[in-house]
Structure 1
Amino acid sequence: MIHYQRILELHDEGISFRGIAASTGNSRQKVTEIIQRAEKKGLTCPLEEEMTNQWIEDFLFPEKAFEASGRQPMNFDWIHGELSKPNVTLSLLHHEYEAECRANNKIPYSYRSFLRHYSRYADKYKATLRIRRKPGEIMEVDWAGSTAFVCDRDTGEKIKAYIFIATLPCSLLSYAEATLSMDLHSWIIAHRHAYEYFGGVTQIVVPDNLKTSVTKHTRKELILNPAYREMADYYHTVVMPARVRTPKDKASVESSVGILSTWIIAALRNVQCFSVDELNEEVWKKLEEFNNRSFTRKKGSRFSAFEEEEKFALSPLPDRPYKMSEWKTAKVRPDYHISVESMFYSVPYEYINRQVEVKLSDDLVEIFFNHMRVASHKRLYGKFGQLSTTRDHMPDHHKLFVDQTPEAALDWAEDIGSETLTIVRYILDSYQTEKQALHSIFSLKKFEQRYSKYEIERACKMALSMTERPTVKVLQTILKNNKKSDAEQEQKRRSENTKNNYGFTRGASYYGGKDKR
């Protein structure tokens, strides 16, 4: 029997390998191997009472237990490390183990024995058992059933505070935070803080079927709350809610809820806090104590297990934390605006009477129809009833009306021609009020719907040659008459072309006769 305890204790006292070998009667090579394996696996002095020579041998050389059976030993450290990789299972590792045994002419263990031996190893020597949970794969979240309290400074009234809990099932590391509400905003902000506490993001989030996370959950259909879905997309994670009335789907957080209710909520029963920030400072102190408490049946703590065996598997956090958005629904009014918190935002007029989804952030309002964004506006604050209207959202006749300004009228007239510009300037100068002049010019601009720019410019030139006081009515008459005259001339031209369109005709002289006059 090798005296493992003695070897490790002498090494801890600074005795050389040669001196340890002479004292224990073992070779220097064996002493060196034992000390190197102990350092690699983190076994240091002082040793605990349960760490007997047999325990240390099983811990440092687990393959020895299989040598007597004639079967191929299993490299448990390698198995434990491989299980942390995506899509690697014990079934795959056993298949590879069997292939290796056949190549070495060794007898392999059956799959059931393979599972049993690994479970014993991981349960005894590792903080996490990777048969059921992979590191960095899942974060389970829930609200604690019990509540804490915040005291109102003025009235002394006790205000309920709800405890959000997130747990990583592999290492059992937990996060807790107190909020004054269980609404959507608190729910999502608590998720963001949990990711920041863990220093990374898991592949999957498993919540309960709360309204803040799930809109509809049946066997055939799953509809997430839009804001919650957006948060998950931002962090590149997948939301997989627990089945209805199936708490075992998130057993880790259910267990943590009970434990944390004792170690945080009950532990703070005599602590008086006057704000949720003060309460959270106390909650996080208790949380640190809880996560650093040693496991009762295995080595290490939740925090050490996370640092050693799970933190590496988390996906990195985005450069910027998620910015909370809120989703609402609204119906487009006949004036092609929607009402959001007593403010009005325009939507393309084609969506009048349609139901749309509205995404609200601190500085932006985005409007979606069938998951396609159709409009966006800067968010309005302050006095109720403010409007944010985009010109492109208006029908054409509304655009004409809105564009009625002296500058816009002059720009339009200049685009038509110099004669039109002269008349528009005359109208602006001749009316007593600007509003009357713009109304008259609006009627003139509507002619562009029926007449070309050339026709309008020609009519203006004719009007100026006829009178020094041209009016819109005069221009309308000229345009109609010109249209009628142009149509008659076109008809006459076509008639003449039809009469002369006979081709070449052979006269009588062609046939030797005489033309009759």
Structure 2
Amino acid sequence: MRKIRDVLRLKCGLGRSHREIAAILRISHSTVGSYVRRAREAGVSWPLPDELDDRRLEAALYPPTPPSRVRRPEPDWAWVHRELARHKGVTLQLLWLEYREAHPDGYQYSRFCDRYRQWRGRLDVVLRQVYRAGEKAFVDYAGSTVEVTDRRTGEVQDAKVFVGVLAASNHTFVDVTLTRSLPDWTASHVRMFEFWGGVPELVIPDNEKAAVRRASRYEPDVNRTYHDLAVHYGTAVLPARPRSPQDKAKVEAAVQNVGRWVLAPLRNHRFFSLSEVREAIAPLLAALNERPFQKTEGSRRSLFEDLDRPALKPLPADRYEYAEWRKARVNIDYHIQVDGRFYSVPHALARREVEVRLGTTTVEIFHKHRRVAAHIRGRGKGGYTTDPGHMPAAHRAHLQWTPSRLVRWARKTGPETAAFARKLLETRPHPEQGYRSCLGLMRLARAYPAERLEAACRRALDIGAHSYKSVKTILSAGLDQADDGDQQALSLPADHAHVRGPDYYANSHNGKES
């Protein structure tokens, strides 16, 4: 008001021009003209009366604006709120443009935004945030439990209550399990996705032990099995920050509603199995999702059908199969031990550390994020599951030879060779002890014609020399080609350690000893 008084003094009292007054008071000349015009319209002249203080002077120059009698068409703010959640590209400006297209005399953009914020401020805190359709699901365990009695023993267990809620529609899911372990945690997620018939873009759990191995405000370490479930369903896991309940206000409110409208009505029921609990929960949960909102139109179910269901990702073709991840070190026999059983890996990984994905029916082994082996999961302890492709070449070749296969090979050379090979296997305490002798015969077959090997085997059988060395000696000495009369001296096995021949005994009898 001081500058207004100075403007009136300089203009009316001293007769200065508007530009001179503006330069003296360091204000714009248009402001000077506005002050002078308002004073003229209010009938205020210089000098000012003593009773005209600053408050009365301001009231005279700036009288209150009479309220407008024009009523602007009011937008449907609940519809605006839902449209913001329906699609990522929808903004208040786009909705205002559509509103002005339908109502040219409607609010200006700034007033439109102010009116929406005022309406949103009257909602519950969990409804104020704008969540995109199909974007987020919050999951957590309720503090309340449900008692389940074992029919045989009478033991009472507290079943844990799993709660999931979709952010945009507040559509709620409830499951019960006997534990909060990793298998039950993942199984509840599978049932939750199937209940909704689709998968959200993000799943936001609390820092549950089964979900997060190491809680962190910036880089939480998600359990490997839980991560696998997320990859299978094409979603991502984003744990809430530790000690930050505002990050999961949706599920906190859902837990409260489940306790009030689902669990409380069942407090006097006695259950004997989880299936009984789930059957009792189903109609109460349906009623909760059909229950109308108090401060906005519709229900969880109607919003789910309108917002979330069309935006959820489709379920994969196969249901997730639970599997645990473990670490193991490959032994020198290129096997790892898992739950007391042994499974092979490629022999080049001996003494290396590998990761094991232990499924219900399969065992998969990974090295540096690459699958190197897969086996059917065995039952019981102490057994071996070996893939021949994992063995060194020498081990694999040894395994491939069996008594019947060796005899079949020998038969290709001839009946005498087959008979000799059979004799090699029969005269050993264990057939495998004759494998090497038979492999030696195979080598001789590559060095000598089949007719000579047949003759050598026949001669060895005749003299009872059942060894590879006997046949080799006969062949190298050419005895397989000699006449039968020339073989009388070889009536004993040629490779016997104590055979010295008839000359030895003749010389010894004459008193000569060699």
Same-fold call, TM cutoff 0.5: yes
Amino acid at match of 1:109: Y
Distance 1:408 1:218, change over 3 A: farther
Q: 1:473 aligns with which of 463, 466, 469?
A: 469
Any idea what SS the aligned residue of 2:313 has? Answer: coil
Give the equivalent residue in structure 1 for 2:202: 204
Superposition map of 1:67-466 within 5 A = 83-84=84-85, 86-88=87-89, 90=91, 93=94, 97=97, 109-110=109-110, 113-119=111-117, 132-218=130-216, 221-381=219-379, 383-410=380-407, 418=413, 423=417, 425-430=419-424, 432-433=426-427, 438-443=432-437, 445=439, 456-458=446-448
Amino acid at match of 2:213: T
Query: Partners in 2 of 1:198 and 1:361 — Cα distance?
Result: 26
Query: Partners in 2 of 1:74 and 1:297 — Cα distance?
Result: 16
Deviations 1:260-300 (A, max 9, x none): 22333333222211211112222223222222222222222
Distance 1:222 1:445, change over 3 A: farther
In structure 1, the gaps of 5 or more residues are 1-65, 482-517
Q: Is the 8 A contact 1:332 1:351 kept in 2?
A: yes
Distance 1:413 1:211, change over 3 A: farther
Q: Is the 8 A contact 1:90 1:131 kept in 2?
A: no
Query: Partners in 2 of 1:402 and 1:444 — Cα distance?
Result: 14
Query: Partners in 2 of 1:142 and 1:163 — Cα distance?
Result: 9
Amino acid at match of 2:88: N
Amino acid at match of 1:326: E
Q: What TM-score comes out, normalization by structure 2 length?
A: 0.66
Amino acid at match of 1:406: P
Any idea what SS the aligned residue of 2:354 has? Answer: strand
How far did 1:305 drift? 1.9
Q: Is the 8 A contact 2:77 2:116 kept in 1?
A: yes
Query: Partners in 2 of 1:153 and 1:465 — Cα distance?
Result: 80
Q: Is the 8 A contact 2:78 2:296 kept in 1?
A: no
Q: Is the 8 A contact 1:82 1:88 kept in 2?
A: no
Deviations 1:297-349 (A, max 9, x none): 22222222222232221122233432323333333233322222333222222
How far did 1:164 drift? 0.2
Query: Partners in 2 of 1:358 and 1:377 — Cα distance?
Result: 11
How far did 1:252 drift? 0.4
Query: Partners in 1 of 2:314 and 2:105 — Cα distance?
Result: 44
Q: What TM-score comes out, normalization by structure 1 length?
A: 0.66
Any idea what SS the aligned residue of 1:267 has? Answer: helix
Distance 1:321 1:114, change over 3 A: farther
Q: Is the 8 A contact 2:323 2:357 kept in 1?
A: yes
Q: CA-atom RMSD, angstroms?
A: 4.1
Deviations 1:370-411 (A, max 9, x none): 221111112223x43232211111222322332331233246
Distance 1:77 1:331, change over 3 A: same
Any idea what SS the aligned residue of 1:375 has? Answer: strand
Query: Partners in 1 of 2:76 and 2:270 — Cα distance?
Result: 53
Any idea what SS the aligned residue of 1:339 has? Answer: strand
Give the equivalent residue in structure 2 for 1:510: none
Give the equivalent residue in structure 2 for 1:25: none
Query: Partners in 1 of 2:314 and 2:326 — Cα distance?
Result: 31
How far did 1:246 drift? 2.1
Amino acid at match of 1:393: H
Query: Partners in 1 of 2:474 and 2:393 — Cα distance?
Result: 26
Q: Is the 8 A contact 1:130 1:170 kept in 2?
A: no
Q: Is the 8 A contact 1:175 1:287 kept in 2?
A: yes
How far did 1:156 drift? 3.7
Amino acid at match of 2:400: D
Distance 1:307 1:460, change over 3 A: same
Q: Is the 8 A contact 1:428 1:437 kept in 2?
A: no
How far did 1:358 drift? 2.1
Query: Partners in 1 of 2:383 and 2:78 — Cα distance?
Result: 66
Q: Is the 8 A contact 1:177 1:284 kept in 2?
A: no
Q: Is the 8 A contact 2:421 2:438 kept in 1?
A: no
Query: Partners in 2 of 1:340 and 1:479 — Cα distance?
Result: 52
Q: Is the 8 A contact 1:456 1:479 kept in 2?
A: no
Q: Is the 8 A contact 1:79 1:93 kept in 2?
A: no
Query: Partners in 2 of 1:158 and 1:196 — Cα distance?
Result: 29
How far did 1:234 drift? 1.6
Distance 1:459 1:397, change over 3 A: farther
In structure 2, the gaps of 5 or more residues are 1-67, 478-514
Query: Partners in 1 of 2:439 and 2:83 — Cα distance?
Result: 77
How far did 1:174 drift? 0.9
Deviations 1:415-459 (A, max 9, x none): xx838x9646523235543655643332553799xxxx7983338
How far did 1:195 drift? 1.3
Query: Partners in 1 of 2:133 and 2:69 — Cα distance?
Result: 31
Distance 1:114 1:410, change over 3 A: farther
Q: Is the 8 A contact 2:176 2:277 kept in 1?
A: yes
Q: Is the 8 A contact 1:463 1:478 kept in 2?
A: no
Distance 1:220 1:123, change over 3 A: closer
Give the equivalent residue in structure 1 for 2:496: none
How far did 1:190 drift? 0.8
Distance 1:466 1:133, change over 3 A: closer
Query: Partners in 1 of 2:87 and 2:471 — Cα distance?
Result: 79
Query: Partners in 2 of 1:422 and 1:377 — Cα distance?
Result: 43
Task: Using the aligned pairs only, state the percent identity.
Answer: 34
How far did 1:205 drift? 0.7
